[in-house]
Amino acid sequence: MNALSTEEIRQRIDALGPWFHNLNLHGVPTAPSHYLGDYPQVKWRRFSDVVPKSLTGKTVLDIGCNAGFYAMEMKRRGADRVLGLDSRDEYLAQARFAAEVNDLDIEFRNLSVYEVGTLRERFDLVIFMGVLYHLRHPLLALDLIYEHVARDLMLFQSMQRGSDRTGKFDQDYDFWSTDQFDSDEFPKMHFIEHRYADDPTNWWIPNRSCTEAMLRSAGFAIAAHPESEVYLCRRCKRPYPDEAYLVRRGEA
């Protein structure tokens, strides 16, 4: 695109707002008053070292890309192809504009995590950050990522509430054994019937133990945990027979 002046960039930012990602577009911030500060840059600094410094020859899928912060970071690391997905057109418009201003060749599509099977393509790195707790069917989303688009690495993040400790639990319990459910460390998800942080799309918020158990259950081995909510995972063999992941006819 033709170079825009600072004032033209500011006008486009205002027209495309409000922004959740605070991006620096040639010196113009998109969300300078963000309640989390310089977000997501401030978070990215805490775990950026676990992502390969060079992604040359690699493909990246950013699910729930919002305004494209992580997609652009991956392109800056040399990824051959970066595809960002979001289900909200206003975020995609922001992402496309930001990528154009930064002269980064990134593709953006309107697609939800439940539709990733339609891509018919696997990616070397899947980014799935800040999405899980907005889903009514979070474990289904992880299963779909595993089944259809993850080839190797997944960078994952979820808001977590409850205990940040993990415990050791048996792999099976007698039907009449219930004490384990009273443990704060037992994998648990908090269901939000109405709103949390004034957001009606916050549905399920796991504790740390639940986050890690869900990742393992879906077939992702935790390779690094650099930040309290962030995990770098590798796709591995699923821990259960394939039929355990499907509801058989007549059982629903």
Each residue of 56-92: pLDDT tens digit?
Answer: 999 999 999 999 999 999 999 999 999 999 999 999 9
One-character DSSP codes across the chain: -PPPPHHHHHHHHHHH---SS--EETTEES-TT-TTSSTTHHHHTTTGGGS-S--BT-EEEEET-TTSHHHHHHHHTTBSEEEEEES-HHHHHHHHHHHHHTT---EEEE--GGGGGGG---EEEEEEES-GGG-SSHHHHHHHIIIIIEEEEEEEE----S--------S---TT--GGGG-TTS--EEE-SS-BTTBTT--EEE-HHHHHHHHHHHTEEEEEEEETTEEEEEE---SS-GGGGSPPTTT-
pLDDT of residue 201: 96
Tell me the whole-structure pTM to 2 decimals: 0.94
Per-residue pLDDT 10s for the chain (252 aa) are 568 999 999 999 999 999 999 999 999 999 999 999 999 999 999 999 999 999 999 999 999 999 999 999 999 999 999 999 999 999 999 999 999 999 999 999 999 999 999 999 999 999 999 999 999 999 999 999 999 999 999 999 999 999 999 999 999 999 999 999 999 999 999 999 999 999 999 999 999 999 999 999 999 999 999 999 999 999 999 998 887 886 544 443
pLDDT of residue 1: 55
Write down the residue that tokens 């979820």 correspond to. 158
pLDDT of residue 129: 98
